[in-house]
């Protein structure tokens, strides 16, 4: 997520870069739900999908939800982007994370998980904005508006790390243990891209932690199983991590 900019329609350099990255990765290697999610967000950004709103109109903020009850922004904001490069970086990240998790969880399960994460990240963003406004007295937290898929990507990153065996991650040229990689990335992005939404990224991390480390994750897995009749099978270390806290 990042503060809004007016969207430019049509093909732009970031779209071209994304296409080349997808070709280099292998479009046939990108799982279907991940690929369709990327295509839909690209088509939405370039204006091919006609919608009755502009990107800047559906950014999410605490004031829009609490005062104006603008529930459209609650979900739509996650799938809009403010610039072609914003879209490019997010979709490249989705290629990597989706290609890892979707085959493991199965396509329908992954689609439902993305939907739940979308609701969760929006809820966390609004909650954090309100709490920070109350704690600091800074009204800016209450009105700060953001769009983008990156909060969901941070949640997915936490899940990927929980599925993997402990290993070293490269974060912006820094080699760090997996258990702190997402926190290092949060800080680096905030320092290098100050206009990015720190609250949105932090909210995504917290949603990922709730899924990985608490009973809420078990509840989500059970709900998904009831809907699809396909269980989500995690790696053994994922269960160890989920059982390590709050038990």
Q: Which two tokens stand for residue 231?
A: 């269980």
The count of other CB atoms within 10 Å of the CB of residue 15 is 18
201 is annotated as an active-site residue: yes
β strands within 146-220, DSSP E? 146-147, 168-171, 174-177
The count of other CB atoms within 10 Å of the CB of residue 246 is 9
> Which residue in 150, 151, 196, 197 is the catalytic one?
150
- pLDDT digits (tens), the chain, 247 positions: 544 444 455 568 899 999 999 999 999 999 999 999 999 999 999 988 888 888 888 999 999 999 989 998 998 999 999 889 999 999 999 999 999 999 999 999 999 999 999 999 999 999 999 999 999 999 989 999 999 999 999 999 999 998 886 676 666 666 777 778 888 888 888 887 777 889 999 999 999 999 999 999 999 999 999 999 999 988 877 877 777 654 4
Q: Which two tokens stand for residue 194?
A: 């100050």
Per the CB < 8 A criterion, the answer to whether 199 and 144 are in contact is: yes
Q: Which two tokens stand for residue 78?
A: 């996650």
234 is annotated as an active-site residue: no
User: How are beta strands 146-147 and 2-3 bridged, if at all?
Assistant: antiparallel
Q: Which two tokens stand for residue 145?
A: 């508006």
Domain coordinates in residue numbering, the chain = 13-244
> Which residue in 81, 86, 169, 201 is the catalytic one?
201
pTM: 0.91
């Amino acid at each position: 997520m990042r503060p809004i900019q007016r969207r430019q329609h049509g093909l732009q350099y970031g779209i071209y870069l994304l296409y080349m990255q997808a070709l280099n990765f292998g479009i046939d290697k990108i799982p279907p739900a991940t690929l369709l999610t990327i295509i839909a967000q690209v088509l939405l950004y370039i204006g091919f999908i006609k919608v009755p709103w502009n990107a800047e109109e559906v950014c999410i903020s605490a004031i829009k939800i609490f005062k104006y009850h603008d529930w459209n922004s609650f979900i739509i904001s996650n799938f809009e982007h403010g610039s072609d490069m914003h879209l490019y970086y997010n979709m490249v990240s989705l290629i990597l994370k989706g290609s890892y998790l979707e085959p493991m969880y199965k396509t329908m399960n992954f689609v439902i998980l993305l939907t739940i994460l979308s609701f969760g990240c929006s809820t966390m963003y609004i909650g954090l904005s309100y709490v920070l406004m109350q704690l600091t007295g800074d009204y800016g937290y209450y009105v700060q508006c953001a769009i983008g898929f990156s909060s969901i990507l941070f949640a997915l990153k936490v899940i990927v790390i929980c599925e993997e065996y402990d290993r070293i991650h490269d974060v912006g040229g820094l080699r760090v243990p997996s258990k702190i990689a997402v926190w290092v990335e949060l800080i680096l992005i905030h320092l290098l891209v100050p206009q990015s939404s720190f609250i949105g990224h932090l909210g995504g991390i917290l949603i990922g932690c709730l899924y990985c480390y608490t009973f809420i994750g078990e509840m989500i897995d059970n709900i998904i199983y009831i809907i699809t009749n396909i269980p989500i099978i995690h790696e053994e270390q994922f269960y160890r991590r989920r059982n390590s806290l709050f038990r």
